[in-house]
Amino acid sequence: MERAIAAQPLQADESLAGWVVVLRDVTGARHHLEWQVRQERLATAGQLAAGIAHDFNNILTQSCYMPSWVSSLRRVIAGWRQRRRFLLFLGEAGLLAWKPSHWRSG
């Protein structure tokens, strides 16, 4: 259990008459905040994964209709590298629930 404590002196005629102390259980609020941060991290990772899946789908679609799909593939791979660098940055900043430590920067 986590507690927040607030204390205030109680004065009467310029002399200390006692203290008012308030204890508050903040366990639930702390757990809710941690849950909210985890959800935001998962949402960010999900958006990045969706972007990569969308780009990959675009490659497959273009490969069916365009013979020059190799240049499109190069552009998408460059985008993946930028996303990987962004994920590395988020991981090093402690903003991801998981750490992409097995990825190399590059």
Per-residue pLDDT, 32: 92
Closest CA to 87 of 61, 105, 70: 105
Query: How far is it, in rounded angstroms, from Cα 106 to Cα 19?
Result: 60
pLDDT in tens, 25-53: 888 988 999 999 989 888 888 888 888 88
pLDDT in tens, 62-82: 666 665 666 666 777 777 777
This model's pTM is above 0.85? no
pLDDT in tens, 94-104: 666 555 555 55
Residue 106 above 70 pLDDT?
no
Which SS3 state, helix, strand or coil, does residue 99 take? Answer: coil
Residue indicated by tokens 């190399």: 104
Sequence ranges of the domains in the chain: 3-92
